[in-house]
Amino acid sequence: MWQSVQPPIAALARRLRSLRPGFGMKSALFFLLYSAAIIGAMAVTAHLDQRRQAEELTEQRLKGLAVALEARIQAFLRGSRHQMLSLIDSYPLRRYANALEEGSPGELEFATAQVADLLRAHLAAHAMHYQARLIDARSGWELMRLDKDRYTDAIHSAEDLQDKSHRDYFQELKGGGADRFYVSAVNLNREHGAVETPHRPTLRLAARLRGKSDRPVAFLVINISFASLMSDLHRILGDSHVPLVLDSLTRYLVHPDRRRAFAFEFGRVESLAVDAPEVAARLLGPHAPGMPYGEVFTPDLPIRGEPYMAALRVMPMQGGDNRRTLIVGAAMPARQVYPSLLGSVTHSREALVVLLLVALSATFLVARARAHGQRVAATHAKLKGVLETAQDGIVITDGAGRIEEANPAAGRLFGVKGAELVGKPLDALVPALAAADPSRFRKGVWQPSEAKEAADPDDHAIEMARRADGREFPVHVSLAELPDPRQRRLAAILHDQSDMVAARQAAVAANLAKSQFLTAMSHELRTPLNAVLLYSQMVAEDLADSASPEVLADLERIHQAGAHLMDLINGVLDLARIETGRMELNMATFDLAEMVADTVSLAGPVLRQNGNQLLVDVADDMGMIVGDRVKLRQCMINLISNAAKFTEQGAVTIAGWRQHDMVFLSVADTGIGMDEEQLGRVFNVFEQASTQIKAKYGGSGVGLALTRQFIDLMGGQIEVSSQLGEGSCFTISLPAVAVSTSPPSPDQVNVGQRMKVLVVDDDPAMRALLGSQLEPNLYEVVGLPGGQQALEYLASHAVDLILMDILMPEMDGWDTLRVLKAEPRTANIPVLVVSIVGDREISEVQGACGHVRKPFRADDIAAAIERCQACRMGRSVVIVEDDLNMRAALVRAVERVGLPAVAFFGVDDALYHVRLRRPGAILLDLQMARGPSGFDMLDELANEPALAEVPVFVITGVTLSVDQRAALAERCQMVLEKGAFDLDGLMAHLLEFISGECPNDRPGASDRVPPAAPPALRMVGGEQP
């Protein structure tokens, strides 16, 4: 530079001397020279500062790129481990290992062909995999070798196979540890002992193939093109950076000068330890606390005769049992990093003149720029202070979601230093944050998925994050787009929610404990009260002709008071079951107008007590709906009773109509009405409009709360409108489901003959009570006090039905039920559980045909026995489907044609059920969210003679191959695709299979098969996928 500017400066000096400048000119010249000196000094200072900043930024960028390279290689190794373990666990390789161990030539030849096809497909599907071989674990000779570039010569003849016993990787595999996965060192591939030409850098992945004796019989070795893997690393770095890869001895595997890579294979020493021994010592020596492997940055690594800035880090080759390490890094020429002071100054004489003329202006501009820089630095310092002192984790990412900056709190949140998060994708820390998807942003703010928001509207912004050690924890997420016009950048604020979630779980547990306590106490109250009701009813019936009217009136009052108390306890118990999530709806098809008529006839006497007039306005087209008839009738009775109670000498109107896809029921009165404040709490539990109203009219405040809960469970709504002093109107709206009104045509159970019923209960009063509920002309009743006595009786007597308690001394009901279902003589006897413990789902999964909870009404026993009788023909259809909506639709379709349906979320529960009770048919999905698949269930059914003949109809959304479809066609009656099958045709085939041949009468049907479950919508194994 000095040579270029010296001539014009000398010429200017000569001209100035010839001008003989005066004092003013000298002053101006001095000022200009002084300004030029100031500008030059500032330029040098700025240049040095820029060099320092450039070096710091480059160090961070190169370290981040080194971390990214390590992450890419680790991801490749994890995926390769999964692929290798999947290969050795595949059926062809397991069959090959067993044949190799047993020495069966025919089986070995067939298995070899299968393995060859499998490995060909594997090589074709993976671009980086170019060779696969099987090596004998004892001798080291190749058993099979397949090359992608020699596809036609896939299985080599004996003279082509090689002895690999001398190779390092064979010796390590033979003497390796317990891990089934192995990663070799990176070297040049050798064929017949010589380095292959052209050179092919290779990484070998291997796994031990074990026979039935669990002894390794062969090693599966896959050759990976290390050059192809390095191409991926080049794409990560781009054109401005170069990768460096070294082995654990710092020998070059990947180097910008290709002649230096793998030089050790040819006896030359080319390594980092030779080029930069101090850098190698820092890299392999003691490293920073908390960091398991070394990391180093150097600004002057000699490459191609010039200094390079480079960041290197030692990474473990995770996944193998040999625990190798690699050294990976990124580098770039230092000349591309440091700004050039010479380049900023022009080489022409005119540039020097311009520099002198603009000195004053430049001084002013530099002063302003410095002031602006100071303000920016102050603002940056404030923002940095906020970030560093913030208690929540704050990260800044680019448009693709890769972290550019993270505060210390974010590092503490994930168990690392904040700087170590730079370069990592945000969704690797919080998988739910698909930050690169612009469709998830509304007005610049990230939104959770609609499914999550619908499932948990209160905590939809809470997602699961993953710490460095793999532990998951909940975080509250706020993610927004930054207003940067140059590029899309995102800011995320992450707040640890572990304490909040724990507190919420504790609160839920406390509420659940309260509800369970309430349920238990309600049971204790209902048990004696049930006896009071039943015995008062029976005494009144016995004394109807002989007792005085006063005695009959007293008995009626006892019964009414007990019934009122029973209704109150039932309401409290129902509320508790709803809170604990155990309320079950008995969904069935019924005539809505008929239900309303029954309700009006029941509530008529109550309406007329206060001199009220009853008006009924129900449309003729109400039709059939699917719902819980008993609970809907209970809701209507609650509304009618309230209307009659708060209305005197007025009118109560019951109306019903259908509009589009909804049905409406309303109960209106002309009673005392409510104001706005009373309307706001009318559905609260144990609350009434006012204390005066409670004192005058009585009531518990449970009925309306329970009504709203029942309507919500059935998918409907209840609304109320009222005017104080004019009356109230309650309106129920429910979905209207179009159903067939044609009667089903299943075979009817013959109940004309007298059935023999065995009652097993340790309470003599309960045995007598149950016996009195069964009509003598239909049932012959035998009572026994315990499970052991029942088993002894059944050893020599035959019965048609067993009613059994659970809580009994010595041998309880569950143990008795298991013995009954395990014995062929008694396995087919229907067992109806009558107890205060357990529920319908538990009883039916254990093999019972139904469950009646104590205390019970007289018609509960009769209805349960009728259901057990209906299921004795093996007509039930088992539905195995993990999607809630699809499962409910199939259950509804099956029940519409008059067949009982039992639905399961998973395969394990379904198999347990069908082994206890052989169904008439099975509707099976192939892909499950958790646990075994539909294919596994088909295998289990085929292996059990008692279930091999059960018709199976596959309904799946899985795309099937030709081989899979052919295999399913041999094992199933029909294979249907979701969204593309005829539901009516499916139901017709079901009826044909079930009605045409009773499962219990088929050849090979086991005598152990008990009756099927009652026709009701049940979800066993979880309501949510």
629-653 residue pLDDT tens: 878 888 888 888 888 888 888 889 9
Residue 743 lies in a domain: no
pLDDT reported for residue 221: 92
177-191, 307-321, 456-470 — which is least confidently predicted? Answer: 456-470
Query: Cα(877)–Cα(900) distance, rounded to whole angstroms?
Result: 6
Question: Is residue 344 assigned to a domain?
Answer: no
Instruction: Please check whether residues 962 and 1014 belong to one and the same domain.
Output: yes
186 and 309 both lie in a single domain: yes
The pLDDT of 930-959, averaged and rounded, is 85
Q: Mean pLDDT highest for which of 65-79, 172-186, 321-335, 571-585?
A: 65-79
Question: pLDDT digit string (tens) for 681-694?
Answer: 788 765 555 555 54
Q: Is the pLDDT score of 742 beyond 80?
A: no
- pLDDT confidence band for 953 (50 / 70 / 90): very high
Q: CA 1007 → CA 9, 202, 949, distances in Å?
A: 116, 62, 14
The encoded tokens of residue 753 equal 């003959």
The per-residue pLDDT for 344 is 45
Q: Edge to edge, what strands does the sheet with 295-303 contain?
A: 252-254, 242-246, 325-333, 306-316, 295-303
Which has the higher per-residue pLDDT, 471 or 180?
Answer: 471
CATH number of residue 464's parent domain: 3.30.450.20
Q: Is the pLDDT of residue 151 over 60?
A: no
Residue 54 belongs to a domain: no
**Distance between CA atoms of residues 488 and 446, nearest Å:** 14
pTM as predicted: 0.35
**912 and 818 within one domain:** no
Q: What is the rounded CA–CA span in Å between residue 191 and residue 156?
A: 13
Count structural domains, the chain.
6
The enclosing domain of 605 has a CATH number of 3.30.565.10
The 3-state DSSP class for residue 102 equals helix
Report the pLDDT averaged over residues 745-758. Answer: 54
Query: Each residue of 510-569: pLDDT tens digit?
Result: 766 766 666 555 545 655 665 566 567 667 766 877 878 888 888 888 877 777 777 777
User: Can you give the CATH number for the domain in which 574 is found?
Assistant: 1.10.287
Residue of 822, 832, 836, 983 whose CA lies nearest to 915? 822
For the chain, what is the mean pLDDT?
A: 76
Q: Are residues 670 and 764 in the same domain?
A: no
> 650-697, pLDDT tens digit by residue?
889 999 998 877 899 999 999 888 888 888 778 876 555 555 554 444
For the ranges 672-686, 836-850, 903-917, which has the lowest average pLDDT? Answer: 836-850
Burial of 723 per CB tally in 10 Å (0-12, 13-18, 19+): exposed
Residues 213, 239 within the same domain: yes
Rounded to an integer, what distance in angstroms lies between the CA atom of residue 910 and that of residue 684?
40
pLDDT single digits (tens) 208-233: 888 888 888 999 999 998 888 888 88
Please tell me whether residues 528 and 609 are part of one structural domain: no
Q: Which of 826, 845, 870 is the last residue before a domain boundary?
A: 870
Give the neighbor-by-neighbor strand order of the sheet with 952-956.
Answer: 974-977, 952-956, 921-924, 877-880, 901-904, 1019-1020
Comparing 44-48, 54-58, 233-237, 764-768, which segment has the lowest mean pLDDT?
44-48
Confidence of residue 353 (pLDDT cuts 50, 70, 90): low
Confidence band, pLDDT 50/70/90 cuts, at residue 759: very high
Of 845, 870, 895, the last residue of a domain is 870
Residue labelled with tokens 């980092």: 272
Do residues 948 and 974 share a domain? yes
Instruction: Find the domain containing 730 and state its range.
Output: 589-682+710-735
Q: Name the residue with higher pLDDT: 611 or 90.
A: 90
pLDDT number for residue 788:
92
Q: Are residues 794 and 848 in the same domain?
A: yes
- Asked whether residue 228 is assigned to any structural domain, the reply reads yes
CA distances from 154 to 148, 161, 208, 726, 992 (A): 8, 12, 22, 92, 51
Range 952-969 average pLDDT: 80
96 in the same domain as 230: yes
pLDDT at residue 127 tops 50: yes
Q: Is residue 359's pLDDT more than 60?
A: no
Residue 18 lies inside a defined structural domain of this protein: no
The answer to whether residue 1012 sits within a structural domain is: yes
Instruction: Give the torsion through C-alpha atoms of 176, 182, 186, 190, to 10 deg.
Output: 80
Considering the domain boundaries, does residue 359 fall inside one? Answer: no
C-alpha R_g of the chain: 42
881/987 same-domain check: yes
Distance from C-alpha of 901 to C-alpha of 890, rounded to nearest angstrom: 9
Give the H/E segment covering residue 93.
Answer: helix 91-102
CATH number of the domain that residue 834 is part of: 3.40.50.2300
On whether both 908 and 784 belong to a single domain, the answer is: no
Q: What is the mean pLDDT of residues 236-254?
A: 87
Asked if residue 382 belongs to a domain, the reply is no
Which pLDDT score, from 0 to 100, does residue 1016 have? 29
Could you say which of 450, 474, 496 is where a domain stops?
A: 496
Q: Which residue blocks in 835-982 are alpha helix, DSSP H? A: 840-845, 858-870, 884-896, 907-916, 934-942, 962-971
* Residue 584: per-residue pLDDT: 63
919 lies in the same domain as 995: yes
Question: How many other C-beta atoms are found inside a 10 Å radius of the C-beta of residue 160?
Answer: 11
